[in-house]
Amino acid sequence: MKKILFVCHGNICRSPMAEYVMKDLVKKAGLEDQFQIASAATSREEIGNPVYPPARRKLAEHGISCGGHAARQLRNSDYEEYDLLIGMDRANLRNMYRICGGDFNDKMHLLMEYAGRPEQEVADPWYTDDFDATWRDVLAGCQRLLQDLSEQNRPVS
């Protein structure tokens, strides 16, 4: 089982969008039993809060539910529990390193690395108010991440 944790600043916009998009892609691929997917924040600001309404609406536009989400903060123990910890921007990555005490097993990455755009960050729609751009980036990153992970699990002939 591959365990993935998506991380952003508050865990109410980008990382839950990535969590629920990835869960949807995995479900549609019939791979639900092969993945554990969650999300977390680097800050404490939004702990316990649901997905931000515009992000929730953007997911709903694509038939994706995010009900029951409650923002939580990244813990040091998450580093051991998850195979991949995927941040949305470099500030997230710096805070992930701080909270987890480093990245000794190359588990921490930026989502856009998987979309072939390692220099790009997923813009925070809390500030940009551009949930369409965030949706496109999150979808592209998650699609390629799933493709990469599926290819890694294919038997060699």
Active site residue 94: no
Active site residue 100: no
Q: What angle do CA 92, 108, 51 make, to 5 degrees?
A: 50
Active site residue 14: yes
Q: What contacts 70, CB < 8 A, 6 or more positions away?
A: 47, 48, 49, 50
Token pair for residue 47?
A: 């702990």
Which of these is catalytic: 100, 124, 137, 142?
Answer: 124
What CA–CA distance (Å, rounded) separates 118 from 104? 20
What type of residue is 151?
E
Token pair for residue 16?
A: 């839950």
Q: Is 4 helix (H, G, I), strand (E, B) or coil?
A: strand
Which of these is catalytic: 13, 14, 24, 56?
Answer: 14
Which of these is catalytic: 8, 13, 66, 142?
Answer: 8
Catalytic residues: 8, 14, 124
